[in-house]
Structure 1
């Protein structure tokens, strides 16, 4: 254990870095438009519950608060996300302090976090990943304090943080499990023999209990969703796991987090934190999970590597300035809405989320243009996924459209069609099995979007009233992925 008292926190410079990030995210928050997930959260936030098919309730709840306070616009929706990313930068600087960094090293940690790819990317959007990153950083900070001081009362702070994090995303259990395994291997195991640990577990379980009960009452739909993700994308996720982690954090930060890993191992007392990362990667790879499921721990390594990085910077100031500028510019280009819409396709191979923020109003207008005014009150619109349904819920009323439905995720539970009029299907690809439920289907048009997202090339298909009553048909159409 390193019993050295941490240096004074560099509050002024760190807050300046965090404030600059907030200014950039705020300035760009209104560009492009809502992300498909945000459109889903907008509807979920209006239908608050203790759980949803694919997630716990925290992100929809935050979405509701943000739009109520700041307006139902992309900028208003993202205010709290921006604040969460600002706090994440501050926590990463505090982690650097715990690892023995002086004031300059703490500032380096904050700057590295602010110019990286992943943190600004999730800070730009209202997403589960945004608040999950902050939760992981707080968990890491409390774990490091626990290891450095061996004061087992930090288990209480961990329990509180984990409980809240579980109401946002269950992924937080993965780093904790990896850390427990690492503690058993490297020690100090005495930290696990504490009543404070049991108290922390009790706090986390109590906070998470409402969503667990909801999942139990609905036959654990999140497990079904997770299984569908693994089956559909598991192979691709495994192949791209390491390359995407390097790209999403930023390739130029690779030496920083490698230096951080080595420093954690050299310090000895935080070795379990270092070992937790490869353990976590093995688990995520085995499950076919996405690369960003393990990526937040790399920010802990960035914090640990800040002090040796500062030492390198003092010897290579011109090169460091060029590297920092290049990292900031490339991260912004690939993760933030700085490019014109016409150029977004250039960055989609690295960051598909850029394309998911463009074209939703145009999609709504195309749907409106293909439903005659005389049929709008009786037409049932069936969207293929929650993004389309969310867009039609957001922009449809202004276009004079009826309520849109979707059998995808929680949309399938919120409302189901009842009208006996014509049906307009939005199909990513023509689906004979789907259309077999409806007579006289014919394609009206093909959707074209400015970017290569899922909806580009989708078909609008008009059919007659289904041959099977909606209450019987609707459960057959639902999709979990």
Structure 2
């Protein structure tokens, strides 16, 4: 399934970021771009190879869910049931076949939760392992810091407080900070751009942002509605178990914080492994009482239906030519982000081909967002396209076109916006993905711009956009 449809816009961005390795980026820490570089070096230009790390991470999340169930006292059946619940959850299936910071963030939360549960039960050096997991997770996404803060609030307010009176949790925190430090230093040296990115997400600028009122209902979709009883029981069990009550408090704290800050709905999904693991045992106990056969059939049916629903909506199963006739993209925005990039680049190449030969040599491409720029970076060389530049996120920090560059092939901009920067702006084509799918790029105009009104050094600050 990993090779279905095509590259996601984020994956195209990571491919370029992987060629610009750094301790940090405008919108993320360095781990996922580094993994994209490793995949590129190991497997070459292979979409399946690029996504191999994501598939492995998804498998490890399932494993961690089973291990959490064991820590909560569940037997083999509870471990297998909790792992199965996680394995068919919509969110894991959605992120498990794409190279994404969200994939590795889910793994970081699962591993960290498992190690914290072990540390609460066993104490001592187990905390140091949790610190290592937190530090590595922070090199992928700073959301791990929210989990750590929420767990600390949970331990202080609901206990157990005894571990906080030992040096181990604080030593673990020091390990995490030490591992995170290179990225923090990079952010400080560049003016903390990730704070600006967070503000942009809160304002709804991201394609996966959602209205605040959808945040809580969306949790039902992410775990899969048929599995909601399992994680509800898990949350109830955690709240009633003194040793693990901090996780229930952490879930409530994070839900409130993310809701008030208009965070993306999936930010809370990192605690699904804990909730499903905690709920698996009691749900199986319920199935073993009373009408055992009927209840067992209900649980098995819920798992099967969840798997079918999740796969249909979040895996590339539907033929791409038929996708526009389904509700898939309305539910799963990311599906549309994997469609049409080769045709997008070909349309840019067609515009480039109509330029006089004297202009083609010095032309550049200016893209409105990192996905468009990443597509030209990926497919442009084989189409003979010139270098691409963009003011979006980290692309802006990779610099403007050369001052001596010629005409600009622009996409992702409106005509009026371009006329503030160029004396001549003419349409040269229109993006069509060929499958009638209404995604972000469909119908965009490709422009040829000449007679730049200022040096690139003067224009470049006006092109910067974070979001």
Please, what TM-score do these two structures have when normalized by structure 1?
A: 0.91
8 Å CA contact 1:237–1:289 kept in 2: the answer is no
Q: Secondary structure, in 3 states, of the residue corresponding to 1:457?
A: coil
What is the root-mean-square deviation of aligned Cα atoms in Å?
1.6
1:238-253 superposed matches below 5 A: 238-253=212-227
Is 1:384 aligned with 2:368? yes
8 Å CA contact 1:113–1:299 kept in 2: the answer is yes
Correspondence for 1:71: 44
8 Å CA contact 1:81–1:123 kept in 2: the answer is yes
8 Å CA contact 2:415–2:425 kept in 1: the answer is no
8 Å CA contact 1:148–1:270 kept in 2: the answer is no
- Aligned-pair distance for 1:50? 0.5
8 Å CA contact 1:96–1:304 kept in 2: the answer is yes
Distance 1:271 1:343 in 2: 47
Is 1:342 aligned with 2:321? yes
Q: Secondary structure, in 3 states, of the residue corresponding to 2:45?
A: coil
Q: Secondary structure, in 3 states, of the residue corresponding to 2:422?
A: coil
Unaligned runs of 5+ in 1: 1-27
Distance 2:61 2:424 in 1: 54
Superposed CA deviations along residues 26-73 of structure 1, whole A, max 9, x for unmatched, are xx1111011000000000001101111111100000111112112222
Cα gap change, 1:431/1:223 in structure 2, threshold over 3 Å: closer, same or farther?
A: farther
- Aligned-pair distance for 1:313? 4.4
Cα gap change, 1:44/1:233 in structure 2, threshold over 3 Å: closer, same or farther?
A: closer
Is 1:462 aligned with 2:436? no
Distance 2:113 2:312 in 1: 29
8 Å CA contact 2:14–2:36 kept in 1: the answer is yes
Distance 1:318 1:186 in 2: 37
8 Å CA contact 1:238–1:288 kept in 2: the answer is yes
Correspondence for 1:294: 268
1:231-380 superposed matches below 5 A: 231-232=203-204, 236-314=210-288, 315=292, 316-345=295-324, 346-371=327-352, 372=354, 374=357, 375-380=359-364
8 Å CA contact 2:210–2:265 kept in 1: the answer is no
1:407-422 superposed matches below 5 A: 407-418=391-402, 419-422=404-407
Correspondent of 1:120 among 77, 85, 93: 93
Distance 2:343 2:446 in 1: 14
Please, what TM-score do these two structures have when normalized by structure 2?
A: 0.94
Distance 2:399 2:214 in 1: 37
Q: How many residues align?
A: 452
Superposed CA deviations along residues 386-435 of structure 1, whole A, max 9, x for unmatched, are 0010010000111111111111111111132114311111025x251333
Q: Secondary structure, in 3 states, of the residue corresponding to 1:462?
A: strand
Correspondence for 2:33: 60
Distance 1:63 1:427 in 2: 25
Q: Secondary structure, in 3 states, of the residue corresponding to 1:232?
A: coil
